[in-house]
Structures are given as C-alpha cells and as structure tokens.
C-alpha cells in the first residue's frame, strides 16, 4: 500500500490517497473523502493498463461534483419519495434535493465527508474506512456507525464489504456510485459497450422524477431487456415511455426478492480493450444508470467527460423501498447488523 497526500478541504482537513497493486499490476486508488474509488487500472488485451473509472484530480472536483463519481452513498442510496418516511409511527423528513424527492440521502451525504481509516491489511490489499453518523443526521433516526472495506484480490476483483449498526431503528441502504468505462475513463461514450444484466424484471417509475410505481414488471419484449448481452446504446433512444421519463436507462433491476444470497448481477464487455467486468452482489436490486445526466466537464488528466461517458451498477434495495409495501425492506432494527458484499471482477477476452 502506498499513501500520499490528496490535498485538503477548504476548512483545512487533510485528505489522503491510498493505492494498492496486485500481482497482475492491477491498481486501485482510493481516497478518504467519501471512501471514494478514484482510479482503477485494469490490464487490457494488449497488456496496457486502462483506468476504467471516472473521477477527478483534486478534492474540490469531488466536492463540487453532482454525479457522485466513485463515492460510497449512505445512509440510503437512490430516491425516497418526498424525502419522507415513517418508522414506528413517527415521520422523518430529509432534504429535498432531486425534484420533489430525496436522492442519495441529501446534500451533506457520506460522499462529501472525510472517512476514518479503520485498518489496512497490506497482505490482503485491503483497507477499511469508517464513519459515524449521529442521531438526526440527514433526517435519519439513530446513531449509525458504518464501515466499508475495499479489497483488491489477485484474481483482479475488487470487493466492497459494507457493515453498519444503529441504536435505533433506521434505514440502511449503502451503495457505491462508481462510473465505469471499460475503454478507459477518457474514451468517450459507453454506448458501444456490451452489457448483460441477470435480471428478468425491473421496477418501472411513475414519471420523470424516477420514483417506482410499486410494480415489478418483466423486461421481456421491451428495451429494458438485458438478459442477453447487447450494446448499451442499442435501444437507448427507443420510443418507450420508461426510457423517455429518465433520458435512457436509470432503473432498478430486480435480482431477487430478498437479500443475503450472492449472485452474478451483470457482465460488461468492451471489444476495443477486450476488458470484461463481471459484477456480483448479495443485494436484491441493482440500479443500472447509463450516465444520461453527466454534464460536460473536465475529469482526471484533463479528460473531457459528458453524457453517457460512464455507466453505474449500484447494488442496493429497490428505490423508495422504505415506503413501498411489497418491496424488500431496508429497515435496520436497533442492535442488528447490516452486512452486504458487492464485487467487480475483471478479465480480458
């Protein structure tokens, strides 16, 4: 492990970068700001290393960023209708930061905070970031303590292990918001890259505010169908109401009706680099987001980023599940443990 300075926040808080490299020269670089994945250098078919995640060169880039590049999201990823939920008969109100709703827990999310380093295991190429969130933080009840452990294996897999507990019933739905581009973060559109999602249903949204209707609908016969691999952009402009609502793909795909069972959720492929990414999780859903709202901006190494220059596979509970009967519940009971694992494994073909 190599540690170096990543500068500081405006109030003087010092930040660091942590770099890990495996026996295949695959390298992951993380920062304690947002427990964020900053770089992921993956071997391509020609032996060249490609950085396959979008990000910034400075902390201020991440502070000003509205796309959540690479960050850990908490306490609750995705959208909550009207930013409001009820636990044990009491109503809790969160920030309204996305149309009329709450997105990714609000303006002062875990992605904007400095996490503590709880431990480093250089033999395992592993680091644990920890964070404490007091009762009332972001509108949530309970003193919430969480950690995320990143591990880089010699099988070219990065593993994210989330753990949390609370002293009051609360919502726990952590995720990671990395944007992948298997041709390289600076290569432009991801629409020509292939994706397969191991999900036969999705949760349609009501309108452009992207709150699910509560239904679970088969993907078969619709542009939402990725049960067989296809280019991300093949159907992205289809005359289909769900796509029009959110400008392309930004939907939750149903992997299971329960959590805790590891399964393959996705496989992506870039023919130019030969890089294959397989994704696994024990979560019940995955939000596939095709980067429809990435604004024109400058990323790492002066790269020009724009619309659909990266895609996200955010493992999580279904959106607004705290308010939706029939969806698996993200309620974390006081004294119980939240424990979930997602991983991304890379190879070439």
**pTM of the complete model beyond 0.85:** yes
Q: What is the pLDDT of residue 10?
A: 84
Q: What is the pLDDT of residue 62?
A: 96
314 is catalytic: yes
Q: What is the pLDDT of residue 174?
A: 98
177 is catalytic: yes
Residue of 104, 177, 251, 309 marked active site: 177
- Tell me which residue has tokens 């679970």: 216
Q: Decide the pairing of beta strands 201-203 and 217-218.
A: antiparallel
pLDDT tens digits, 230-255: 999 999 999 999 999 999 999 999 99
Q: Are 329 and 322 in contact (CB under 8 A)?
A: yes
Residue of 163, 191, 194, 314 marked active site: 314
Stretches where the chain sits below pLDDT 50 are none
- Angle subtended at Cα 203 by Cα 197 and Cα 209, rounded to the nearest 5 degrees: 115
pLDDT tens digits, 95-146: 999 999 999 999 999 999 999 999 999 999 999 999 999 999 999 999 999 9
């Amino acid at each position: 492990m190599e540690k170096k300075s990543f500068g500081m926040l405006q109030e003087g808080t010092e930040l660091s970068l942590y770099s890990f490299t495996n026996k295949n020269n695959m390298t992951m670089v993380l920062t304690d700001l947002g427990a964020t994945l900053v770089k992921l250098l993956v071997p391509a078919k020609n032996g060249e290393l490609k950085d396959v995640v979008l990000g910034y060169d400075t902390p201020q880039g991440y502070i000003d960023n509205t796309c959540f590049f690479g960050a850990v999201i908490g306490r609750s990823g995705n959208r909550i209708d009207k930013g409001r939920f009820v636990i044990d008969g009491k109503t809790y109100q969160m920030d309204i930061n996305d149309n009329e709703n709450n997105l990714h827990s609000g303006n002062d999310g875990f992605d904007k905070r400095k996490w503590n380093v709880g431990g480093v295991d250089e033999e395992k190429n592993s680091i644990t970031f920890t964070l404490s969130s007091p009762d009332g933080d972001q509108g949530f009840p309970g003193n919430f303590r969480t950690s995320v452990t990143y591990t880089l294996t010699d099988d070219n897999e990065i593993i994210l292990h989330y753990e949390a507990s609370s002293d009051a019933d609360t919502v726990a739905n952590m995720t990671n918001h990395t944007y992948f581009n298997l041709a390289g973060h600076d290569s432009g559109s991801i629409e020509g890259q292939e994706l397969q999602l191991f999900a036969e249903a999705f949760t349609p949204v009501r309108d452009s505010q992207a709150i699910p209707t509560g239904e679970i609908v088969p993907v078969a016969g619709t542009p939402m169908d990725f049960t067989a691999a296809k280019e991300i952009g093949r159907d992205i402009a289809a005359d289909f109401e769900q796509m029009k609502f959110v400008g392309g793909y930004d939907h939750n795909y149903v992997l299971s009706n329960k959590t805790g069972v590891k399964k393959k959720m996705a496989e992506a492929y870039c023919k130019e680099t030969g890089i294959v990414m397989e994704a696994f999780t024990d979560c019940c859903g995955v939000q596939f987001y095709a980067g429809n709202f990435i604004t024109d901006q400058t990323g790492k190494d002066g790269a020009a980023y724009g619309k659909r220059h990266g895609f996200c596979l955010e493992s999580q509970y279904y959106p607004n599940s705290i308010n939706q009967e029939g969806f698996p519940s993200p309620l974390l009971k006081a004294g119980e443990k939240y424990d979930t694992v997602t991983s991304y494994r890379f190879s070439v073909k």
